[in-house]
A and B are shown apart, each in its own frame.
Chain A
Amino acid sequence: MSSVTIHCFEFLKKYRCLLYSPIDCKYRVPSAAPHVDLLQVAVIHPTLQTTGSLKRAEEGRGGGNSRKARSVSDELSRDMSQQMGDSHRRFLQTMMANGIVDEQGARALYQHCCETHSTQCTPDKLDDFIDTINSRLQPMFMQIRKGMSEDNGQQYYALVNMAETNVTRMSSDYADNELELFRKTMDLIVGSENGKASSTDILNSTDTMTAKKLKKSETEHLLNRFVNDKWLNEKRGEYTLSTRCIIEMEPYIRAMYQDQVKVCHICRNIAFQCQICENPACGIKIHNPCVARYFKGRSEPRCPACDDFWPHEIPEVRRPQSRSRR
């Protein structure tokens, strides 16, 4: 080995993917969300059915991939399109490695996978392509589901696990008291008007923990882990649910917080970070990005439900350039 090897690592960075395994060590089955006690959910919520030892959530209502109503002739062509090929497999592997991909990225990936395996790529058929994968994932209680980011209004695709088994629970890297903190954070976020929980409130909530109490430093460290593992987002000391968390847990959130949870008046998805109509008789919620789109170009914004004046600042419609936040 000569001195050139000194540049070896720099070189390796440029010359990536030398191993056959592009999914690397990092790919994962999305673990079931850290706070969910599905046994409980299954009892209180009729849409969650229990099948054997796997408790499976009903397909997420917000997920744009379930197309049940199809005619017989559609069925036939669907059978044809449901053949899974290497392009689908490559797409799925990338989803496994990333967990969540924005719409632009998913389109680019779709094209890339088709080109790599010389199959036809129809740009507006991404959702059909994903349907094909989902039809084969369904028996494994996994699904690629679509949802909107409350930050920028963009669509994202996330690979979610709908099963809670001993197996998926095992992959959860959190101890019981850590899960309890997540649950408390969740309570704070769902109970808030703006879908946020401050670090102070979260720290205070540890006073009422039933499991082994977390110290302040431990709590701070744990919150960082939740952010790193993409369950929470943090901005200036305030925590929100990540897009991935919302997509993955929507059915559970609807079930667990039936009385508190509100849906967006515009897109009908669950709403955390949003604006609220100030008419006490109305009080509908609209996501910030949905507000931006709905009121764009209107001179006097009025509530789409009660027609009262909409008193909040109307945010700008964000162009899908910033691809960083999830």
Chain B
Amino acid sequence: MTQRKRLSATQSSSQSRRQTGSLLAQEEDDDSTFTQPSSTQVQRGLEKLTPAQVDQKTAEVVQYFLVKDQKKIPIRRADLVKHVVKEYRNIYPEIMKRAVRIFDQVFGLKLVEIDTKNHMYILVNKLETVEGASPINSPTNPKMGLLFVILSVIFMKGGVVRENLIWNTLKKLRVDPAEKHEEFGDVKRVVTDEFVRQRYLEYVRIPHTEPPEHEFRWGQRADMEVSKAKILEFMGQLHEQDPQSWSQQYREAHSTPSSTQASTSSQR
């Protein structure tokens, strides 16, 4: 619950910063007005529509996800229904089923409901990274390097760390969270706000701390997108050490077959 409050607070603050038009202006929460239609309702709804109309709406939903996912902020069902699905809400499950199939078959992406209670979705890549081999250098986001370091620290320290450890580590890397960084900008904001909203990190206040102290954990998106085995491999190279020597981390990295990832993509 606390997480949700935090999320909607950060969302509204980020809106006031942007002015990209009415579509971004989200109501606080109108998802409660949406009830998932039953399968007979869907069936009846479909009978009243032409296949072209359904395809059309599906295409709009796919585009909406592709556009919104660029900011990596989870997409709320409430917004999707309000801005895109609209009068087709009675066949919402059918449209989503088709969108999922298109992401899977055409784009190699997986549409995941990251938060089943609040109905939020993200897109995850199903294709495994091929290191450094692509002949085309796609533009990369330098912030991902920063994120990777933080995720590595959290993972190596057993899954949860106090924020001071992160700030000190970054200082050692000559990234001072108190100063504006030339590549990352306001580092503290990127780490505690942007990465959190993107669900790469969780940043939660430790109870009964005064002044307040926070701790970091991996966010749900990190669980799905980031390979622990690769982090260990990276650590091994960095410290010139065999990844297996971190036995606990090694076990964790190789026990959970990263569910949504690449391994499934060839089975289609």
Given A21-B124, A92-B106, A170 and B24 contact (CB-CB distance below 8 Å): yes
Find out whether the CB atom of B60 lies under 8 angstroms from the CB atom of A112: no
Interface assignment of A24: CB less than 8 Å from any CB of chain B = yes
Pick the most buried of A86, A168, A173: most chain B CB atoms within 10 A of its CB.
A86
Of the candidates B66, B84, B133, B230, the one whose C-beta lies within 8 Å of that of A112 is: B133
CB-based nearest B residue for A141: B59
Find out whether the CB atom of B127 lies under 8 angstroms from the CB atom of A105: no
C-alpha gap A169/B67 in the complex (Å): 10
Find out whether the CB atom of B239 lies under 8 angstroms from the CB atom of A26: no
Pick the most buried of B64, B84, B140: most chain A CB atoms within 10 A of its CB.
B140
CB-based nearest B residue for A118: B266
4 further interface pairs, Cβ-Cβ under 8 Å (given A20-B227, A22-B134): A18-B226, A20-B224, A26-B140, A94-B136
Find out whether the CB atom of A52 lies under 8 angstroms from the CB atom of B140: no
Interface assignment of B149: CB less than 8 Å from any CB of chain A = yes
Of the candidates B59, B71, B130, the one whose C-beta lies within 8 Å of that of A116 is: B130
- Among A4-12, A196-204, A245-253, which stretch is in contact with chain B? A4-12
Of the candidates A6, A25, A140, A175, the one whose C-beta lies within 8 Å of that of B141 is: A25
Within 8 A of B (CB), among A165-218: 165-171, 173, 175
CB-based nearest A residue for B231: A18
Find out whether the CB atom of A24 lies under 8 angstroms from the CB atom of B138: yes
Interface assignment of A299: CB less than 8 Å from any CB of chain B = no
Of the candidates A12, A20, A105, the one whose C-beta lies within 8 Å of that of B261 is: A20
A201 → B minimal CB distance (Å): 29
Given A140-B62, A165-B60, A168-B63, A23 and B138 contact (CB-CB distance below 8 Å): yes
Of the candidates B19, B53, B63, B138, the one whose C-beta lies within 8 Å of that of A97 is: B138
Given A20-B226, A25-B143, A28-B70, A15 and B130 contact (CB-CB distance below 8 Å): no
Interface assignment of B201: CB less than 8 Å from any CB of chain A = no
Pick the most buried of A20, A96, A137, A168: most chain B CB atoms within 10 A of its CB.
A20
If over half of B's interface residues share one DSSP class (helix, strand or loop), that class is named, otherwise mixed; here it is helix
Find out whether the CB atom of B225 lies under 8 angstroms from the CB atom of A173: no
Which residues does chain B contribute within 8 Å of A96, judged by CB atoms? 107
Interface assignment of A136: CB less than 8 Å from any CB of chain B = yes
CB-based nearest A residue for B141: A25
Find out whether the CB atom of A167 lies under 8 angstroms from the CB atom of B133: no
- Among B9-17, B168-176, B243-251, which stretch is in contact with chain A? B168-176
C-alpha gap A16/B53 in the complex (Å): 43
Find out whether the CB atom of B53 lies under 8 angstroms from the CB atom of A27: no
Find out whether the CB atom of B148 lies under 8 angstroms from the CB atom of A19: yes
Interface assignment of A73: CB less than 8 Å from any CB of chain B = no
Chain A: number of interface residues, binned into ranges:
35 or more
30 residue pairs bridging A and B, Cβ less than 8 Å apart:
A6-B173, A12-B145, A12-B148, A12-B149, A18-B148, A19-B225, A20-B225, A20-B258, A21-B225, A22-B125, A22-B130, A23-B138, A25-B144, A26-B140, A52-B53, A52-B56, A86-B268, A90-B108, A90-B127, A92-B107, A93-B127, A94-B136, A109-B134, A112-B130, A112-B133, A140-B63, A140-B106, A141-B63, A163-B59, A170-B67
Given A53-B60, A165-B63, A25 and B138 contact (CB-CB distance below 8 Å): no
0 or 1 for each of A221-255: is its CB under 8 Å from B? (1 = yes): 00000000000000000000000000000000000
Find out whether the CB atom of A29 lies under 8 angstroms from the CB atom of B141: no
CB-based nearest A residue for B71: A25
Of the candidates A11, A12, A24, A168, the one whose C-beta lies within 8 Å of that of B67 is: A168
C-alpha gap A43/B66 in the complex (Å): 28
Find out whether the CB atom of A109 lies under 8 angstroms from the CB atom of B139: no
Find out whether the CB atom of A2 lies under 8 angstroms from the CB atom of B225: no
Interface assignment of B182: CB less than 8 Å from any CB of chain A = no
B169 → A minimal CB distance (Å): 5
0 or 1 for each of B107-141: is its CB under 8 Å from A? (1 = yes): 11000000000000000111111111111101111
C-alpha gap A127/B57 in the complex (Å): 29
Given A141-B59, A163-B63, A15 and B234 contact (CB-CB distance below 8 Å): yes
Find out whether the CB atom of B132 lies under 8 angstroms from the CB atom of A24: no
Find out whether the CB atom of B67 lies under 8 angstroms from the CB atom of A167: yes
C-alpha gap A170/B21 in the complex (Å): 7
0 or 1 for each of B244-268: is its CB under 8 Å from A? (1 = yes): 0000000000000010011001101
C-alpha gap A17/B139 in the complex (Å): 11
CB-based nearest A residue for B66: A29
Find out whether the CB atom of A5 lies under 8 angstroms from the CB atom of B172: yes
0 or 1 for each of A94-105: is its CB under 8 Å from B? (1 = yes): 101110010001
Which residues does chain A contribute within 8 Å of B180, judged by CB atoms? none
Find out whether the CB atom of B134 lies under 8 angstroms from the CB atom of A26: no
Find out whether the CB atom of B136 lies under 8 angstroms from the CB atom of A1: no
Find out whether the CB atom of B105 lies under 8 angstroms from the CB atom of A136: yes
Interface assignment of B237: CB less than 8 Å from any CB of chain A = yes
Which residues does chain B contribute within 8 Å of A1, judged by CB atoms? 153, 169, 172
Which residues does chain B contribute within 8 Å of A161, judged by CB atoms? 63
